[in-house]
Amino acid sequence: MSAVLLNGKELAAKKREQLKKDVEELSTKGITPGLAVILVGEDPASKTYVGAKQKACEQAGIHSVLIKKPDTISEEELLAEIDRLNKDEMIDGILVQLPIPKHISEQAVIERIAPNKDVDGFHPINIGKMMTGEDTFLPCTPHGVLVMLKEAAIELEGKHVVVVGRSNIVGKPVGQLLLNENATVTYTHSRTKDLRAMTKQADILIVAIGKANFISAEDVKPGAVVVDVGINRVDGKLCGDVDFESVKDTASYLTPVPGGVGPMTITMLLENTVQSARNRQ
């Protein structure tokens, strides 16, 4: 093993200690940050993530409300729930756990959340501000990746970043955030021709394609930084989009799964929620 592990679990724990202090500071001003999480349906992974968000809120002193809805809920009913939360003065952040059932428009739901309570950073207004480099809520997983790279003092300026995957919640925004840091960014995806020729050029390879063990040592330039955003379950075991055993001797830095980017996602959500509460003042 020559790669240095980028330990998201440890960094997330450190950042959550600071968040606790920030929440205490806010409480001296009579403010308790409030997060509302809407869970639609019974997806087991979503239930796990929502549970982890609630627990993290509780530990940080953030008030959290879980609103469970059946997967038969109509789009109108879900939008009405968001309208109610938009008006609730005790709620600083609102998120709808994704994915949601197919009969509901994900974009309509995201766009209904008031941009100043969009702690997921998915609203087009917040995405637009991110693109122009304005201060705003950043999407949690991409922001977590950026914070991990900076914490490890990995140079970004002028580096060739190759992103594998183009989802709205990870691939596209993570590339944009690294472009904002003066990296040169190439996006690749399932239809990219000769993907390996692309990934092998990366100084920093970010993989968010949603396919277990998709990237192996042959796809990686020796010494590259490899960030694995994938979370897959194979035979009941959690693994990333990167074949860890294969890549660990080729990469210079590598994120594990579990314990890499995942825990940072929730920490960035807490940071956004606390920031939203500060914005109340």
Ligand X SMILES: Nc1nc2c(c(=O)[nH]1)N[C@@H](CN(C=O)c1ccc(C(=O)N[C@@H](CCC(=O)O)C(=O)O)cc1)CN2
Provide the annotated binding site for NADP(+): 165-167, 231
Please say if 21 is a catalytic residue: no
Which one of 15, 22, 92, 97 is the catalytic residue?
Answer: 97
Regarding 257 and contact with ligand X (CB under 6 A), the answer is yes
Please say if 53 is a catalytic residue: yes
Closest distance to ligand X from the beta carbon of 122 (Å): 7
- CA atoms of 179 and 181, how far apart (whole Å): 5
Please say if 97 is a catalytic residue: yes
- CA atoms of 144 and 266, how far apart (whole Å): 9
Closest distance to ligand X from the beta carbon of 110 (Å): 9
Which one of 92, 118, 120, 219 is the catalytic residue?
Answer: 120
Closest distance to ligand X from the beta carbon of 206 (Å): 15
| Residue nearer to ligand X on the CB measure, 196 or 248 | 248
Regarding 97 and contact with ligand X (CB under 6 A), the answer is yes
Member of 67, 79, 98, 154 binding ligand X (CB under 6 A)? 98
Q: Which stretch binds ligand X (CB under 6 A): 46-54, 58-66, 144-152, 187-195?
A: 46-54
Residue whose beta carbon is closest to ligand X: 262
Closest distance to ligand X from the beta carbon of 226 (Å): 15
Burial class (CB in 10 A: 0-12, 13-18, 19+), 7: middle
Binding residues: 165-167, 231
Member of 32, 48, 72, 74 binding ligand X (CB under 6 A)? 48
Member of 128, 133, 222, 258 binding ligand X (CB under 6 A)? 258
Number of residues that bind ligand X (CB under 6 A): 20
The 3-class SS string of the chain reads CCCEECCHHHHHHHHHHHHHHHHHHHHCCCCCCEEEEEEECCCHHHHHHHHHHHHHHHHHCCEEEEEEECCCCCHHHHHHHHHHHHHCCCCCEEEECCCCCCCCCHHHHHHHCCHHHCCCCCCHHHHHHHHHCCCCCCCHHHHHHHHHHHHCCCCCCCCEEEEECCCCCCHHHHHHHHHHCCCEEEEECCCCCCHHHHHCCCCEEEECCCCCCCECHHHCCCCCEEEECCCEEECCEEECCECHHHHCCCCCEECCCCCCHHHHHHHHHHHHHHHHHHHCC
Site for ligand X in 126-165 (CB under 6 A): 140-141
Regarding 230 and contact with ligand X (CB under 6 A), the answer is no
Q: Which stretch binds ligand X (CB under 6 A): 55-63, 129-137, 190-198, 262-270?
A: 262-270
- CA atoms of 31 and 280, how far apart (whole Å): 9
Give catalytic residue positions.
53, 97, 120
Which parts of this chain interact with ligand X (CB under 6 A)?
Answer: 48-49, 52, 95-98, 120, 140-141, 169, 231, 238, 257-259, 262-263, 265-266
